[in-house]
């Protein structure tokens, strides 16, 4: 009899503990968020990835009712930030603002992979931005046709900067070389900021990149934009033609910036994040701010984002292979 009572007490205790654990998890999820959220950004301050992270963090904070702080962790072609986010507690309090170049191009160049795309659950896309082809103002070219003519007349003399070997800027430059039949010298930097500084200083002739970091220098005349590598012209640069309009439709490169969470993040938390992110990205004020920076507020839900990742991962693999780009 005593044995039966002991078994009953153990069973009841175990049931109570399990209920308490489940109830605690449900309560935690139901009250999410109840503390500060960290948005890890895989780049230094000043570039479009940082802009996307800060715009999203600032807009999400009042909607979520909690502070959202940006933590810049550049380096390793996005690997440092990705690994930090991957190892973080899957509770919705650590998010990753991911840049497409790191998510779908860098993996094709890594000799060893420290993270996989499957390590993350998509939350939603925030911004999209085509690359622009921008030259120092002193370079004697006014449009893409003149740049190609200049490159052919001075083979191997034009230097183009990128934010790193295998970056989207590097790949875009390689695509232009292939399409136009020209040869330029690639000069990799550790980020867009240093590349921009050397472009302004005349150490390099041109670069490729999303518009936001370059806009102030375009507006003051120190840099000149020759073309936009997207399907449509940018509202902030209405007179600048697309590469397709300039006769190089194959040079098509658009970056996207999206929020991801560690893969084991509870679904109710992901659902709330997704709904709130959709709300802020589709807000007219957010859209206007993005447009002023040379980007587009472009919300995609988790399913759409996941599908785009798979498609672009496969397509960029072919570009990297045909361009013979290798890891450093």
Residue 120: strand, helix, or coil: strand
Q: What is the pLDDT of residue 315?
A: 87
Query: Pairing mode, if any, of strands 120-136 and 68-72?
Result: unpaired
Q: Where are the beta strands (DSSP E) in the chain?
A: 37-41, 68-72, 94-99, 120-136, 159-162, 185-188, 206-210, 223-228, 254-262, 296-300
Confidence band for 328, pLDDT divided at 50, 70 and 90: low
85 or 321, higher pLDDT: 85
Q: What is the pLDDT of residue 189?
A: 86
Is 60 exceeded by the pLDDT of residue 3? Answer: no
User: Tens digits of per-residue pLDDT, 182-235?
Assistant: 999 999 987 788 899 999 999 999 999 999 899 999 999 999 999 999 888 998
Is 90 exceeded by the pLDDT of residue 161? Answer: yes
Q: What is the pLDDT of residue 4?
A: 54
What is d(CA 148, CA 167) in angstroms, rounded to the nearest whole number?
A: 22
pTM for the model stands at 0.82
Confidence band for 25, pLDDT divided at 50, 70 and 90: very low
Is 90 exceeded by the pLDDT of residue 282? Answer: yes
Q: What are phi and psi of 23, to 5 degrees?
A: -65, -40
Cα Dmax for the chain: 99
3-state helix, strand, coil in the chain (%, to 5): 45, 20, 35
What is d(CA 326, CA 328) in angstroms, rounded to the nearest whole number?
A: 6
Q: Which of 277, 274, 262 is nearest to 91 (CA)?
A: 262
Residue percentage of the chain with pLDDT more than 90? 68
């Amino acid at each position: 009899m005593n044995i039966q009572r002991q078994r009953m007490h153990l069973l009841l205790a175990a049931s109570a503990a399990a209920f308490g654990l489940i109830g605690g998890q449900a309560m935690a999820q139901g009250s999410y968020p109840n503390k500060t959220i960290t948005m890890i950004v895989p780049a230094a301050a000043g570039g479009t990835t940082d802009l996307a992270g800060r715009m999203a963090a600032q807009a999400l904070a009042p909607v979520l009712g909690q502070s959202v702080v940006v933590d810049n962790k550049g380096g390793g072609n996005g690997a440092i930030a990705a690994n930090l986010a991957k190892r973080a507690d899957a509770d919705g309090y650590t998010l990753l603002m991911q840049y497409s170049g790191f998510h779908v191009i860098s993996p094709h160049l890594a000799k060893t992979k420290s993270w996989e795309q499957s390590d993350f659950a998509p939350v939603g896309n925030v911004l999209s931005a085509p690359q622009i082809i921008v030259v120092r103002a002193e370079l004697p070219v006014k449009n893409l046709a003149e740049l190609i003519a200049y490159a052919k007349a001075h083979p191997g003399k034009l230097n183009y900067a990128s934010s790193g070997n295998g970056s989207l800027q590097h790949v875009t430059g390689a695509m232009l070389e292939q399409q136009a039949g020209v040869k330029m010298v690639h000069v990799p930097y550790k980020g867009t900021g240093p590349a921009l500084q050397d472009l302004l200083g005349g150490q390099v002739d041109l670069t490729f990149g999303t518009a936001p970091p370059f806009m102030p220098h375009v507006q003051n005349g120190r840099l000149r934009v020759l073309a936009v590598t997207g399907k449509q012209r940018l509202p902030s640069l209405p007179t600048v033609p697309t590469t397709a309009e300039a006769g190089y439709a194959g040079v098509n490169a658009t970056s996207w910036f999206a929020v991801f969470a560690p893969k084991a993040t509870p679904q109710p938390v992901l659902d709330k994040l997704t709904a709130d992110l959709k709300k802020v990205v589709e807000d007219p004020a957010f859209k206007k701010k993005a447009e002023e920076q040379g980007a587009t507020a472009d919300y995609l839900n988790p399913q759409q984002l996941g599908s785009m990742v798979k498609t672009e991962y496969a397509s960029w693999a072919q570009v990297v292979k045909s361009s013979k780009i290798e890891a450093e």
